[in-house]
Amino acid sequence: MAIFFFFIAVFIFVIMLLTFMSTLKPKDNLWFGVSLPGFALEDERLRELQISTGKMYKKYGFLLILFLIPILCLSSYISLPLIFFYVWTCAMVLLLRIPFIKAHRAATQLKRENEWFVGEKRMVRIDTKLSLLKKKMSLSLYWYIIPALIAALSFTIPVPEGGIEILRMAGGTALGLTVFFFVIAVSFNRMKPKVYTDDSETNIQLNQTNRRYWSLLWFGMAIINSCIAVITVYALSLNGTASTIVWSLGIFFFSVVPVLGIFYVHYKLKQFETTLLKGEHEILYTDDDEYWINGTTYNNPNDRSVMVPKRLGIGTTINIGTKTGKSIYYGLFVFVALLLIGTGWMGVQADFSTPTLTADGKGTVSIKYPMYNYSFAMKDVQELKLVDSYPSGGRRTNGVATDTVAIGNFKFEEYGKSKAYLVKNSPPYIVIKLPEVYVLYNAKDATETERTYAELQKGSGIFH
């Protein structure tokens, strides 16, 4: 698990570092998130700023990779690599912002001192023909019924008793993400059309293509996430290697495909824009730096658009100057915080909780463990024994397997299909045979395991 998080972290790091380092070169009339006239881009002071900022990125990048290496020492746990990954990712985002913000503020200061303004300050251009065609550019929002139905399908797939919590979590997350992408699509539909040139037909063509591509991307991501939910739930019904392969494919698509999709759409649109603007058109620039906080966050209460093109990276960002934008912006922080805390807490429970077996006096035995609760009737016990050796050949089909515990659904060479609640290297182990499955249980303390075994013997009337 630690190795998996290590490579995911490296992948995210490379994407983030390339995104920030892309600001080292001028992009159209933007440099370090500051709009500048063409002649200013040759200023020697900006070139020096470019070199010093590049050195800072390399320094911080080296430190981040160095601080990531200790995650490989946490392979015995689930929660610790997960929490380490979350903390490191947050630190990475904050640290990589420092060189950019410093460069942005320095470039802004140079712009003010030299009065380098672009075009007309706060210039407003309205292309009437373009505005009238705005609603005809994007994919219909009714298409989002499809990913919602796919996500709902995950709730209908039969799963083992121990997988109910995972089913609810996967299905609920997919429905939540479908709503999220729907909201993003609605916000895109409300974006103000961009005026690129003084030619209406070119503006219409560029905006239509732009909106069409992005609306298809959001819809595609909603479809992919809903399908991943179904794949995740379906994997619960599989055994051994097949389950692992399906889970791995689901994680791959969830992690990589959306990122590749965003880069592909951005590349295609930039390519199309460059081709179309090669003609005799006059390209229009505006100077709205005052609405960009540190060159990354757009805050313009005079602009009704919820989504606007980014200055850092690719795609769009949120206008927090609108009520809707502010709600989405801060709502995302709350959602991410809850997601991180929730998954982190689940990991801690998996690592540091121990299964507890109790008999209620009414003939029912219950085993409690986060997400893998199980119960059976005492009268269904066909065989009961206490063994000193850990079962061999265990294959996890759905559950938790670390160096310290084995919890969930397993297949063992000696017992076949089994419900395992085992603390490794802490013999003895209780083996309970039921009509269709074995239940294997032990506590950390051998005395506690023997006490539980005696209680089960008394309740079942089976003495080995």
DSSP string, 286-344: -B-GGGEETTTEE--TT---SEEE-SSSSSEEEBTTSHHHHHHHHHHHHHHHHHHHHHH
Whose structure tokens read 């009961």? 384
Task: Give the tens place of pLDDT for each residue, 161-180.
Answer: 555 666 677 778 888 888 88
β-strand 416-423 against 395-401: which pairing, if any? unpaired
Report the half-sphere exposure of 452 (CA within 13 A, side-chain side): 26
What pLDDT score was predicted for residue 157? Answer: 74
pLDDT digits (tens, 9 = 90+) for 218-231: 899 899 888 888 87
pTM: 0.67
3-state secondary structure of 444: coil
At 126 the pLDDT is 45
Kindly report the CA angle at 257 between 243 and 141, in degrees rounded to 5? 110
The pLDDT confidence band at residue 127, using thresholds 50, 70 and 90, is very low
**Lowest model confidence (mean pLDDT) among 22-26, 171-175, 329-333, 452-456:** 171-175
C-alpha 34/C-alpha 29 separation (Å) is 8
